[in-house]
Amino acid sequence: MQRTTRKVGLTPIGQELLARAPALLDELDDLLGSVSEASQGLTGQLRISAPVTFGEIYITGLISRFTALHPGICVDLRLTDSYVDLAADGFDLAFRIGEPEVNTLKARKLGEINSCLVASPHYLANYGTPLVPDDLRSHLCIVDTNRRDYSKWTFYRGETPITFTPQRHLLVNSARIARDWAMDGRGIALCPDFVLYEALHQGRLVELLGNYTMKTHPISVVYLAGNVVPRKVRALIDFAVDDFQQVR
């Protein structure tokens, strides 16, 4: 403190201490929590957000495996394809497909999601098999509007992009339904790979234009940027990184 006959104020060192005090107290709380959790196991609630289809297919299983190891954790999982503000909506972390925000969030990359063009054998027998992107002009296209770039399908042959605007025979905001319509022979669909594994393995769908590639999309787990990350959040993030490599 700095005192004069008229007032009492903080010295420069005192001002610096005041500015850093909240972060130091947070670190102390986290340290005390870690000591408690180390002796008692992880406890408390985790609020998590994930995209609907990816969440149903993968994240629900991940949460089940994680809570089997940490029964003291209560998970509140919210599946939505709408953008979630972690700070404003009170979430601890979120799983995101696509490039994560870099300013307000930290991210751990889990892997990549590929896009596949597929159709049923029945559809191809009736309408023929496209061999190049331009052949798609004569086909019925099923469009998943959850894709950020759903109005255009971009293929690559080497480094050269080839953009096709699908004739929108059917549109839906669900990769699962787009896949199901393709299996029913309703057209050609562009879907993320994680909804296709079983259908491709069973022969209910056929992958098309295999000589071309498409842009991959990162899948990441994001959390609030700060000096202190709660131990239960760190534990789930580390578990997700390892689990994704094994399951994928």
Please give the structure tokens belonging to residue 106. 């930290």
Residue pair 235/72 in contact (Cβ under 8 Å)? The answer is no
Tens digit of pLDDT for each residue in 90-110? 999 999 998 876 677 899 999
Task: Give CATH for domain 115-215.
Answer: 3.40.190.290
Tens digit of pLDDT for each residue in 174-229? 999 999 999 999 999 999 999 999 999 999 999 999 999 999 999 999 998 877 88
* Domain 41-112+218-247, second-level architecture: 3-Layer(aba) Sandwich (3.40)
Segment 64-85 shows an average pLDDT of: 95
Segment 14-28 shows an average pLDDT of: 64
Q: Which amino acid is at 12?
A: P
For residue 26, is pLDDT > 60?
Answer: no
For residue 71, is pLDDT > 50?
Answer: yes
Q: Is 120 helix (H, G, I), strand (E, B) or coil?
A: coil
Residue holding tokens 């991940």? 62
141 pLDDT band, cuts 50/70/90, is very high
CB-based contacts of 42: which residues, under 8 Å, 6+ apart?
70, 72, 73, 231, 232, 235
Query: What pLDDT does 39 receive?
Result: 45
Query: What pLDDT does 241 receive?
Result: 95
Same fold for the domain at 41-112+218-247 and the one at 115-215? yes
| Domain definitions of the chain by residue range | 41-112+218-247, 115-215
Segment 47-58 shows an average pLDDT of: 96
Segment 42-56 shows an average pLDDT of: 95
Query: What pLDDT does 131 receive?
Result: 96
